[in-house]
Each structure stands twice: as structure tokens, then as C-alpha cells.
Amino acid sequence: MSLRVPIRALTTAARSSLKIGLIPADGIGKEVIPAARAAIEALGSDIPKPEFYNLDAGFECFASTGTALPEETVEALQDSHCALFGAVSSPITKVTGYSSPIVALRKKLDLYANVRPVVSVAENAQEKPRVDLVVVRENTECLYVKQETITSTESGKEARATRLITERASRRIGRLAFELALGRPRQLVTIIHKSNVLSVTDGLFRETIRAVPRFAENGRYDNIQIEEQIVDSAVYRLFREPQIYDVMVAPNLYGDIISDAAAALVGSLGLVPSINAGDNFVMGEPVHGSAPDIAGRGIANPLASIRSAALMLRHLGYLNGADRLDKAVDGVIREGQVLTPDLGGSSKTQEVLDAVLKKI
């Protein structure tokens, strides 16, 4: 099965070219984003002529220039049609002046949805996949607003973090989840929350999304089935019975964790793509991180970045090109002859890319 996520395409006029910003950023991003570019270039007339712009961002950029997200990068993206982001190496301890550029980009470009499909590749192209779900992650709020304080008390240091959940953000991420469900056979949305403990914040998220169908025109979502799961139970059931899920919608932190965990069900983070989507822009981003332990060794898996390119093109309405990328990746995985070490193989990044290009 090809990796199809039916998202309502951005409204675009006919183009003679497609302006694509490329932000490899850190680590293996520098290896997998060029692979995605090569795959896009192989599509020929199925998409407008691509024009690529190499842009800077990331921790390495911060170390050399003092800024993790140069204003020139933001301005270039605002003049582009879409973008691909590689990976960022964010330190686990506080570094004065540094903040994650991907989090900043999501806010600056209002990319409020992170859509992460997790689909296993069936041995036979005609068979249904064992895992076929989509995690829809709210992208702008929750603990990722990064409002933290630390104070000293008589008993020691005390750290606090602000968690933000708004009705507006919850409603629009819920609406996108329902739109996705409309195009899928099961038409099921599962709301992930922890409102048994966080009754105010998660309670607002849960209640707002449950109310989305009531405000839809002409009963648009009346046939969508709504279920819900407490987040810890959801993780347990994700591993025990992933087939119960279709579209999972979650606040920022839960969505991040669940989608990374779900990658284990299909073999590797190196297979799982995502897009950061807003109403006017889309940016593909492989779910894997910067993987500093293998950076520069030529063994990074390029398939998630190619699949992210497919998701990006699909969101822009270029369905034929997206299908060709998806089917090529599926074919390489199904044959199992040319795979990187994360999938049990011994092939190099370039060898996997070459195999995909042959199928495109």
C-alpha cells in the first residue's frame, strides 16, 4: 500500500516552477535532505520545475553565527511554496541564547499541525498493512511554548513550566483530524489526553475536539466515529493492538512521544515521515533526529525524508508525483535487498537512494 494521507490540498494557482526551501540543519539532515531533493528531481513533468534554496538553521548554525534560525532563512521560506527540514541537534542542557529552530519555524509560519502517518509495508502490494494510522499533533502549544522559570527556595531549587492549551488551537487541530478521517476507510478519530489528571488543560483539548462536529456545516463529520484514550493507556494499546487506531489527535507533547513510539511498529524511525502544515505553507520533516552517532558515515536511512517529500507534494496537490515516491519507497522496502543498518541491512545511504530512483 502506498503511503497515502488525504489532506485537503492548499489552494494554489498554476505554477511554472515550485520553490522549495531546503534546511538540512544538523547531523544526518545533511545526508537525507539531498536524497529527498534527488527523488523530487526524478519526478520530471509530474510536478512544476523545482527550484531549490539551501537555507541555514540548527545548533551548528547557532555555534558558528550565534543564531539558530537566521532571519534570512525565514524570509526565504516566506517567498517559497514549501520546504524540507532535516534534523536538529538540540542540547539536553540549557545553552544561553539557543532555542530550537524547528519549534520557532512552526510558530513563525503558523504550521499548527504536525501530521505523522505510520504505515507498515505489506509483503504483497495487494494486502492491507498491519499498521495504518496517522498521528495528528498540535504543533504550537502545550509545554512547547517554552515558558520555564527556576527559583531558589529554602528546600532547594524549584522549576516550573507553563503548559498552554487554547480552544482556538484545539479546534483547528481537531478539524484537521476530522478532515483526514473523512478520506480514510474507517473514519475514526481517537482523542489522546490525560484529563483524568489534567482536567483543565487536557479537559479543554478533549471537549473542544469532541465539539468540532457540532459546528461543521451540513453535518460534514456526522459519520466520523469518535473515541478517546488516556495517553498512557494509548501507548500500551498502541503496542498491543495498533490496528484499533486510525487517526489519533493529541496535544503537542503526547503527539511527539506517541508518533516516535509508533515508529517501532514499522521497523525504524528512519521510515516515518511528517509534514508541518498550516493554512498557507507546508514543510516536510522526517521524524528521526539528527543521529550524531552515525552522522557522516553514509549509512543514514533516506526513506523517511523521501516519504516526507511525498507528503509535502500531496499536501500541495501533486498526487501523481507523491504516489510515485511512495510506491518507489514501498518497493525498495518490500524487496528487502537494499536497506540501511537500522532496518537490518548493510547498504549505504546512496545505495538506497539509487534503488529508489530506479523505481521512480
Q: What residues act catalytically?
A: 144, 194, 232, 256, 260
User: Helix count (H) and strand count (E) of the chain?
Assistant: 11, 12
The whole-angstrom separation of Cα 243 and Cα 184 is 14
Among candidate residues 143, 251, 237, the one with its CA nearest the CA of residue 191 = 251
Which residues, including other chains, have CB under 8 Å from residue 149's CB and lie 6 or more apart?
Answer: 159, 160
Q: Indicate the helix (H) or strand (E) that contains 37.
A: helix 29-41
85: helix, strand or coil = strand
Among candidate residues 253, 305, 339, the one with its CA nearest the CA of residue 37 = 305
Among candidate residues 304, 281, 293, 299, the one with its CA nearest the CA of residue 338 = 299
Cβ pair 55, 22 in contact under 8 A: yes
Cβ pair 337, 359 in contact under 8 A: no
Among candidate residues 122, 48, 60, 119, the one with its CA nearest the CA of residue 307 = 119
Among candidate residues 189, 191, 141, 206, the one with its CA nearest the CA of residue 169 = 141
The whole-angstrom separation of Cα 35 and Cα 57 is 19
Cβ pair 142, 251 in contact under 8 A: yes
Cell of 102: 524547528
The whole-angstrom separation of Cα 347 and Cα 30 is 18
Cβ pair 160, 129 in contact under 8 A: no
DSSP summary character for residue 62: H
Cell of 216: 461543521
